[in-house]
Structure 1
Amino acid sequence: MKEWSKEIEIHAPIDIVWGLLDGSLEDMQKIMPQVVDHQPVKVTNEGVGSIYRQKYREGKRVEEYDVETLEFKNTPEQKKLKVGFTLAKMFEITALYELKAINEQKTLFKYTCTNKPLKAFLKLFLFLASDKIVVQFCERVKKVAEEEYKNSKVLIR
C-alpha cells in the first residue's frame, strides 16, 4: 500500500471548501471533473456507512463503483470526510479530506490518499508512482475555493 499526503492553506472560509467536497455533483465536478455521476445508494444520519454509486470518466471509458463513507465529522471549526472504494477490481483506494478553520477567511486543507494494489503486478507500478496527482488536486481545490469565495464577496456587495 502506498500513501500520499499534502497540506495547503486556502484563503476561503471552511464552509466554501467543504461545499466542494460534501456538496452536490455540480460542486464536486468543479474539483473532480472526471466524476460524471454521484447517486446515493444508502445514506445514514451520522454520515459513516453512507454509500454513493459514482461514475468516473477516464478517456472514453466510464468506470462505476461504490464509494463508502468511512469517517465523517462536520463541526464549525473542523470537518473530515474519508471515503473508500475499489477501482476496476485493481486498487483499493481511500481519500481523506481534513479541513481546519484557521480563521473566518482561511482554511487548512489536508488531503491524504492511500492506494492498495489488488494484483501483484501492480505493486511495481505503485512503487514508481509520485505524489503529482495529490499535489495537483490540492492546488485545484485551493484555486476553485478561492474563486468561489471571491465571487461570493462580489455578489454580496
Structure 2
Amino acid sequence: MKRWTKSIVIDAPIEDVWKYLDGDLEKMQQIMPKVVSNTPVTETQEVVGSVYRQEYREGNRVEAYDVHVTEYENTPTHKHMKVAFTLAKLFEITAKYEVEALPDSKTKFVYITTNNPLKWFIKLFLLFGNDKVIVEFVERVKQVAESNRT
C-alpha cells in the first residue's frame, strides 16, 4: 500500500474551501474535473455510512464506482471527510480531506490518500509512483478556492 500526505495553506476562509470538498457536483468538478457524476445511493443523517455512485472519465472511458463516507466532521474551525472506494477492480483507495481554520481568514488543507493495489502486477507499478497527482490536486484546490472567495 502506498500513502501520500500533502498540506497547503489557502488564502480563503474555511467555508470557501470546504464547499468544494463537501459540496454539489458543480463545485466538486472545479477541483476534480474528471468526475462526471456523483449520485447519492444511500445518505445518512450523520453522513458517515453514506454512499455515492461516482463516475470518472479517463480519456474516452467512464468508470463507475461507489464512494463510501467512513469519517465525517463539520465544525466551524475543523472539518474532515474520509472516503473509500475500489477503482476498476484494481485499487482500493482512501482519500481524507481535512481543513482547519487559521487566523486572517486562511485555511490549512491536508490531503491524505492511500492506494492499495489488488493485483500483484499493479504493485510493481506503484513502487515507482510519485506524488505528482497529489501535489497537483492540492494546488488546484488552493487555486480554485482563492479565485472564488466570497
Task: State the TM bucket, normalised to the shorter chain.
Answer: over 0.9
User: Is the counterpart of residue 135 in structure 1 residue 138 in structure 2?
Assistant: no
Q: CA RMSD in A?
A: 0.6
Q: Tell me the residue number matched to 2:112.
A: 112
Q: Tell me the residue number matched to 1:52.
A: 52
What is the alpha-carbon distance in structure 2 between the residues aligned to residue 116 and residue 75 of structure 1? 30
SS in 2 for 1:121: helix
TM-score (norm 1): 0.94
What is the alpha-carbon distance in structure 2 between the residues aligned to residue 103 and residue 50 of structure 1? 32
Displacement, 1:104? 5.0
User: Is the counterpart of residue 94 in structure 1 residue 84 in structure 2?
Assistant: no
TM-score (norm 2): 0.99
Q: Tell me the residue number matched to 1:7.
A: 7
SS in 1 for 2:12: coil
Residue type of the alignment partner of 2:81:
L
Q: Tell me the residue number matched to 2:125.
A: 125
User: Is the counterpart of residue 38 in structure 1 residue 38 in structure 2?
Assistant: yes
What is the alpha-carbon distance in structure 1 between the residues aligned to residue 78 and residue 127 of structure 2? 33
SS in 1 for 2:148: helix
Residue type of the alignment partner of 1:118:
L
Equivalent residue pairs, number: 150
Q: Tell me the residue number matched to 1:74.
A: 74
User: Is the counterpart of residue 17 in structure 1 residue 13 in structure 2?
Assistant: no
Q: Tell me the residue number matched to 2:62.
A: 62
What is the alpha-carbon distance in structure 2 between the residues aligned to residue 26 and residue 104 of structure 1? 28
Displacement, 1:105? 1.2
Q: Which consecutive residues of structure 1, in runs of 5 or more, have no partner in the other structure? A: 153-157
- Shifted more, 45-54 versus 102-111: the winner is 102-111
What is the alpha-carbon distance in structure 2 between the residues aligned to residue 81 and residue 104 of structure 1? 24
Q: Which consecutive residues of structure 2, in runs of 5 or more, have no partner in the other structure? A: none
